[in-house]
Amino acid sequence: MKRFVALSACICILIMGMNSCSKDEGTGGNSSIYGKVLVKDYNSTFTVLQEEYYGPDIDVYIVYGDDKSNSDRTRTSYDGTYKFKYLRPGNYQVFAYSKDSTLQTNALIAIIKNVEIEKKKQEVAVDDIVVFD
């Protein structure tokens, strides 16, 4: 009976250890996601494009896996680039806020890019996030 209890305890510890080895999306890894934010500056009715440039100092957010809110934030550099480092493999959403070019709302809307990191030590480039100003 003592052997059975000891064996059961070892199996429980082994199962718990295996479950803790699978890591969810988020920080703690050695992969990264990077890209640029392109700003399209239109007139107030969004009929005339006045200027287009990679936006400096723009907030870019990331959502880890199935999180319900943003998990982290960074700001773009002088040339519109951003980078989220030290990520584990998994699914992510990267987004920045933009004016609504359809003029259906005055609220800012999220321009979202879905990104997957498939393996360790991977650098994933994201297509430009295009925001309207």
Check residue 18 and give its pLDDT.
44
Q: What angle do CA 122, 125, 126 make, to 5 degrees?
A: 135
What DSSP designation does 46 have? S
Check residue 103 and give its pLDDT.
86
User: Which H helix or E strand runs over 119?
Assistant: none
Check residue 15 and give its pLDDT.
46
Hey, what domains does the chain have and what are their CATH numbers? 24-132 (2.60.40.10)
pLDDT tens digit at each of 133 positions of the chain: 555 445 455 454 444 444 445 578 989 999 999 999 999 999 988 999 999 999 999 999 999 998 888 899 999 999 999 999 999 999 999 999 999 988 888 899 999 999 999 999 999 999 999 999 9
Check residue 113 and give its pLDDT.
98
CB 120, CB 30: distance < 8 Å: yes
Check residue 23 and give its pLDDT.
74
What DSSP designation does 77 have? -
Check residue 8 and give its pLDDT.
53
Q: Which two tokens stand for residue 4?
A: 């059975």
Cα separation, 37 vs 131, in Å, equals 7
Check residue 91 and give its pLDDT.
97
Q: In the beta sheet, which residues pair with residue 118?
A: none
